[in-house]
């Protein structure tokens, strides 16, 4: 896909969170059998529990780290908590899923209060097993710095969805 | 994004400089997380520009402020400064690609009147504040609109890409299937369902 048509670029995920990278491993995220496609909208009630994450690759001895962040916390027009870490799973063997890894930071349900937030899943290849550790806190997480700190290199896959506060009674546009 | 508070150029150059420096400090306090380098270069540009042009006299008609945008940095050139009160805001947020000519609407020129200096200043500041608030709101709305367009476009691109990918995969699988049919037609014949055959009938 040409660079400027890539949904990750158009949606500013590449820019706000990540540097340009080449996808090399498949990453499938499913919330109750609803697959996450870039830029799709999900309701907070649909993403309360952690999704099923399946990754590709071929060698079971290669381990991957999955990061889920909200770059629009607390509000997209003033993201002073960018990025907010929602989930961190390490040591995921290739061809398996997040349930086979180590949940280093437990899944926190998205609960956007103001504006429409992006929630980004990023997959990194680890150099070895048990080489990635939890940060001190969730807010103001920096994926790029984190990757540099633990020698994760550039991402191998990423996908994101949009989510806003659920309103009751208002007719959707 | 860097937003300058409005500042007024009074007749006494010394006072105006002080005011301007104060205003700059205030705005950088409001936006500490923005890169300081862009702040300083933008500021430096302005002040050098300010000082390089001689202050014109009250009578002179000010030439229109020329506004140019170049790549990432958006810069202003000042016209006349004396007796002219200009309020301006600067936005160096390149990703949104603002056409900076639009900001000429932000420039409000008020001729100096012969009312007392402090009253003038207060009125000035009130209207500056409200126009400042209005400007901020306008910027925020613009950004919000840009984000909304980007969101829509990103989703559309993703769907188009998926459709193309699925179409290709579909074609490939169908092709494979037809090739299998051609290669071994007999193997695919559904074997006749085996029914139960009697081997012995009860004598009674």
Is residue A40 one of the residues assigned to a domain?
yes
Is A1 among the domain residues? no
Query: Do A60 and A93 form a contact (C-beta atoms < 8 A)?
Result: yes
State the average pLDDT over residues A76-89.
95
Q: Is A39 left (phi over 0), alpha (psi -120 to 50) or beta?
A: left
Whole-number CA gyration radius for chain A:
15
Q: Which of A107, A130, A117 is nearest to A39 (CA)?
A: A117
- Closest residue to B144, CB basis, from A11, A40, A77: A77
CA of A36 vs chain B CAs: smallest distance (Å): 11
Q: Tell me the per-residue pLDDT of B35-45, one tens digit each, with 9 for 90 and over.
A: 444 444 444 44
Q: What does the pLDDT look like over B63-110, one tens digit per residue?
A: 444 444 444 443 333 334 344 444 444 444 444 444 444 444 444 444
Residue B5's pLDDT band (cuts 50, 70, 90): very low
Give the pLDDT confidence score for residue A143 in this predicted structure: 96
Read off the pLDDT band of B8 (50, 70, 90): very low
φ, ψ (nearest 5 deg) of residue B142: -60, -45
Is the Cβ–Cβ distance between A102 and A91 less than 8 Å?
yes
Containing domain of residue A150, as a range? 7-164
Q: Does B150 touch chain A (CB under 8 A)?
A: yes
The DSSP bridge pattern shows strands A157-164 and A40-42 to be: parallel
CB contact under 8 A, A77 and B153: no
**Average pLDDT rounded to a whole number, residues B47-71:** 46
pLDDT at B176: 94
The reported pLDDT for the residue numbered A149 is 94
Residue A170 falls inside a structural domain: no
Nearest Cα residue in chain B from A82: B33
How much of chain A, in percent, has pLDDT values that exceed 70?
95
Would you say A113 and A74 are in contact if contact means Cβ atoms under 8 Å apart? yes
Q: Which residue has the tokens 């007024």?
A: B8
8 Å CB contact between B121 and B6: no
- ipTM of the shown complex: 0.88
Q: Is residue A65 part of a domain?
A: yes
- Residues B119 and B114: their CA atoms lie apart, in Å, by 11
B106 within 8 A of B87, measured Cβ to Cβ: yes
Mean pLDDT within A75-83: 93
**B162 touching chain A per CB within 8 A:** yes
Q: Output the 3-class SS for A45-97.
A: HHCCCCCEEEECCCCCCCEEEEEEEECCCCECCECCCCCEEEEEEEEEECCCE
The whole-number average pLDDT for the span A67-89 is 95
Q: For B30-44, give one letter per residue: b (16+ CB within 10 A) or e.
A: eeeebeeebbeebbe
Entry field: residues in chain A = 173
| A68 domain residue, yes or no | yes
User: Does residue A80 belong to the interface with chain B, where contact is any CB pair within 8 Å?
Assistant: yes
Does the pLDDT at position B177 exceed 50?
A: yes
| Residue A171: inside a domain | no
On chain B, the residues whose CB falls within 8 A of the CB of A6 are: 157
In chain A, residues with a C-beta closer than 8 Å to the C-beta of B144 are 76-77, 115
Per the domain annotation, does A46 fall within a domain?
yes
State which residue of chain A sits closest to B153, comparing Cα positions. A10
Asked whether the bond before A74 is cis by omega within 30 degrees of 0, the reply is: yes
Question: What integer is the mean pLDDT of A100-112?
Answer: 96
Q: How many whole angstroms separate alpha carbon B45 and alpha carbon B57?
A: 23
d(CA B110, CA B83): 9
Chain B CA closest to residue A72: B147
List alpha helices for chain B, DSSP H.
Answer: 13-30, 36-52, 117-183
Number of domains in chain A: 1
Q: Any idea what the CATH number is for the domain that residue A156 is in?
A: 3.90.280.10
- Say what percent of chain B tops pLDDT 90: 24
User: How does the average pLDDT of chain A come out, rounded?
Assistant: 93
- Written as one string, the DSSP assignment of B42-87 is HHHHHHHHHHHSPPPPTTSPPPPPPEEEETTEEEE-----TT-B--
Three-state DSSP at A125 gives strand
Q: Which of A15, A80, A162 sits opposite B151 (nearest CB)?
A: A162
Contact criterion met (CB < 8 Å) for B155 and A7: yes
The pLDDT of residue B58? 46
pTM of the model: 0.62
Q: How far apart are CA B72 and CA A102, in angstroms?
A: 42
Neighboring chain A residues of B150 at a CB cutoff of 8 Å: 10-12
A38 contacts B155? CB cut-off 8 A: yes
What number is the average pLDDT over the span B124-152? 90
* Neighbour order of strands in the sheet with A102-105: A40-42, A157-164, A116-125, A63-70, A84-93, A102-105
Mean pLDDT over each residue of chain B, to the nearest integer: 63
User: Parallel, antiparallel, or unpaired for β A84-93 and A27-31?
Assistant: unpaired
- Verify cis geometry, omega within 30 degrees of 0, for the bond prior to A83: yes
Domain assignment present for A38: yes
B169 in A contact zone (CB under 8 Å): no
**Does the pLDDT at position B6 exceed 80?**
no
pLDDT per residue over B146-171, tens digit each? 999 999 999 999 999 999 999 999 99
Q: B148: nearest CA in chain A?
A: A116
Residues 6+ positions from B138 with CB-CB distance below 8 Å? none
């Amino acid at each position: 896909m040409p660079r400027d048509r890539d949904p990750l670029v158009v949606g500013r995920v590449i820019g706000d969170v990540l540097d340009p990278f080449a996808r090399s491993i498949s990453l499938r995220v499913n919330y109750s059998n609803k697959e996450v496609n870039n830029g799709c909208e999900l309701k907070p009630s649909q993403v309360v529990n952690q999704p099923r994450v399946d990754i590709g690759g071929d060698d079971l001895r290669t381990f991957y780290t999955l990061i889920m962040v909200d770059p629009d916390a607390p509000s997209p027009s003033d993201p002073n908590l960018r990025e907010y870490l929602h989930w961190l799973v390490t040591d995921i063997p290739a061809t398996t899923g997040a349930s086979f890894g180590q949940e280093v930071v437990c899944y926190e349900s998205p609960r956007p209060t103001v504006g429409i937030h992006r929630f980004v899943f990023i997959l990194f290849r680890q150099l070895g097993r048990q080489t990635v550790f939890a940060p001190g806190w969730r807010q103001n997480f920096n994926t790029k710095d984190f990757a540099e700190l633990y020698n994760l290199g550039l991402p191998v896959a990423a996908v994101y969805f949009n989510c806003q506060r659920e309103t009751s009674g208002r007719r959707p546009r | 994004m860097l937003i300058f508070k409005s500042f007024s150029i009074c007749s006494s150059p010394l006072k105006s400089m002080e005011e301007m420096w104060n205003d700059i400090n205030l705005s950088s306090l409001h936006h500490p997380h923005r890169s300081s380098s862009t702040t300083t270069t933008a500021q430096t540009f302005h002040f050098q520009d300010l000082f390089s042009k001689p202050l014109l006299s009250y009578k002179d008609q000010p030439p229109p402020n020329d506004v140019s945008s170049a790549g990432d940095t958006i810069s202003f050139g000042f016209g006349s400064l004396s007796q002219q009160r200009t309020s301006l805001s600067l936005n160096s947020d390149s990703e949104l690609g603002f056409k900076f000519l639009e900001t000429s609407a932000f420039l409000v020129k008020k001729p100096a009147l012969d009312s007392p200096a402090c009253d003038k200043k207060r009125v000035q500041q009130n209207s500056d504040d409200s126009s400042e608030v209005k400007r901020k709101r306008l910027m925020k709305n613009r950004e919000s609109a840009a984000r909304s367009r980007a969101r829509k476009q990103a989703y559309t691109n993703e769907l188009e890409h998926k459709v193309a990918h699925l179409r290709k995969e579909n074609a490939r699988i169908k092709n494979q299937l037809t090739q299998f049919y051609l290669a071994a037609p007999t193997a695919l014949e559904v074997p006749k369902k085996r029914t139960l055959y009697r081997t012995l009938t009860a004598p009674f």
